[in-house]
Amino acid sequence: MSGGIECPYCASTNTRVVDSRPDADRCGVKRKRECSRCGIRWTTCELDEDRIALLEDAIRDRPR
């Protein structure tokens, strides 16, 4: 099954999700992924759309 995420080590798109759980502040999801080609595991952090909008607003409105 393809996870749609490219392996950062070998660039294969044949990856799978090994584990998913809410992140510490519950604004997103941490996923442990594994590449079926090279076997490397890594973690992705996915934020929900509301959290992304808040971060974009904070960056745009910060003093320079």
Q: 57: domain range?
A: 15-61
User: Is residue 6 domain-resident?
Assistant: no
Residue count (the chain)? 64
- Residue 35 inside a domain? The answer is yes
Q: Which helix (H) or strand (E) holds 49?
A: helix 49-61
pLDDT of residue 24: 76
pLDDT in single tens digits along all 64 residues of the chain: 444 789 999 999 999 999 999 887 767 889 999 999 999 999 998 877 777 777 778 888 877 6
How much is the pTM? Answer: 0.66
Check if the beta carbon of residue 47 is closer than 8 Å to that of residue 61: no
Q: Is residue 9 part of a domain?
A: no
* Whole-number Cα distances in Å, 61 to 22, 27, 28, 57: 28, 21, 23, 6
At 47 the pLDDT is 79
pLDDT attached to residue 48 = 74
Q: Which residues pair with 16 in a beta bridge?
A: 34
Q: How many separate domains does the chain show?
A: 1
| Cα 60 from Cα 1, distance rounded (Å) | 38
